Amino acid sequence: MTNRIPEPAYPAKDVSILYGDKELYARIGKVAEQDGGKELVESFEIPIRSGKAWVVKKGQLCRLSTPHGPQVGDLNIFSLHNPRERFWAARTRQLHASHVSVGDRLWSNLPYLRPLVTIVEDSLRDYGVDEVGGRCHDLLGTRCDPYVNKLLSGDDFDYQCHSNLVRAVLPYGLTEADIHDVLNVFQVTGLNQDGKYFMAASPSKPGDYFTLFAETDLLCAMSTCPGGDLSVHGWGENSAQRMLDTCRPLHVSVYEISNKDEILKGWKESERPGYKGMHGLKLPVFGQ
């Protein structure tokens, strides 16, 4: 009996619906890779076990990097002008893959369902599948949080990724209720033979990077995971202390593309699918 690989469950009539114009994104990716062709808008480092939020305008590039060595980052993305629209990890996983890289896009929740960003650079894109089935840049799992930490260990620890993201978005008028499932950048994960989620040490090295192209105006927030590079892992405050030596800052750079008329020719801000139905509901007839 041959092992047949099932077809993806979410095919598109036209692959450009999911991936856009490949020539356009090849041009954008080339600019992202070069030293020239773009102007630095903002650059900062996120300290260990912390979080920060920042704005990326449509048509800009946002590079996330590991200047000091391996470190996992938990990323949230919102529409800047309507934070009810935010990154939808589950649908992105279905439309693309459990782990994402160059060419994949991060999609927003219903009723919006449009690409918020397109991945145009990934220095770890050749990581592939390791000997235990792990892949990099994880959408299978989500952020660590103080609630599950308390559940599993009985300990209180305030610097989980969920808490870091909560603190990061507060200056923008958002709350804990706005924090959502993340993209775990630079994180290797998979499912074992029993279908259980596992994590492995990050393969990132000093200078590795992951670059996003903004398809609309965005508010981004990222936590430098208290698990560091995940080479040591556990739950509870004692475990958190053991993981401290594996924690490193992450760096964020936002760039404006210099020659937009040429590089972004044919590009336009992402749009909703345009569903016009009412979910099978009918308007009530008043007076009856």
Q: State mean pLDDT over 175-202.
A: 97
Q: Output the pLDDT for position 241.
A: 83
Does position 72 have pLDDT exceeding 60, yes or no?
yes
Mean pLDDT in residue range 271-276: 94
Q: How far is CA 136 from the centre of its chain?
A: 12
What does the pLDDT look like over 202-245, one tens digit per residue?
999 999 999 999 999 999 999 999 999 999 988 777 787 888 99
Residue 279 CA to chain centroid, in angstroms? 30
pLDDT level of residue 91 (50, 70, 90 thresholds): very high
Pairing type for strands 250-257 and 38-46 reads antiparallel
CA distance 72 to 247: 9
Provide the residue count of the chain. Answer: 288
Confidence of residue 140 (pLDDT cuts 50, 70, 90): very high
In this structure, is the dihedral angle defined by the CA atoms of residues 195, 233, 175 and 81, taken in order, positive or negative? negative
Q: What is the chain's alpha carbon radius of gyration, rounded to the nearest angstrom?
A: 20
* The pLDDT of residue 283 is above 80: no
pLDDT score for 287: 66
**Strands 73-79, 218-224: pairing kind:** antiparallel
Per-residue pLDDT at 206: 98
Does residue 108 have a pLDDT over 70? yes
What is the rounded CA–CA span in Å between residue 279 and residue 117? 28
Averaged pLDDT for residues 150-163: 93
Q: Stretch 188-211: mean pLDDT, rounded? A: 97
pLDDT tens per residue across span 10-34: 999 999 999 999 999 999 999 999 9
Output the CA–CA distances (angstroms, integers) from residue 61 to 42, 56, 57, 79, in the order listed.
11, 8, 9, 15
Over 90: is that where the pLDDT of 141 sits?
Answer: yes
pLDDT score for 58? 98
Q: Which pLDDT value is given to residue 35?
A: 93
**Within 206-253, where are the H helices?**
237-243
Task: Calculate mean pLDDT across residues 101-126.
Answer: 98
Strand ranges (DSSP E) for 197-264? Answer: 197-200, 208-214, 218-224, 250-257
Residue 145 has pLDDT above 80, yes or no: yes
Task: Please write the tens of the pLDDT for every residue from 34-55.
Answer: 999 999 999 999 999 999 999 9
Reported as a pLDDT band with limits 50, 70 and 90, residue 1 is low
Rounded-to-integer distance, Cα 190 and Cα 178, Å: 27
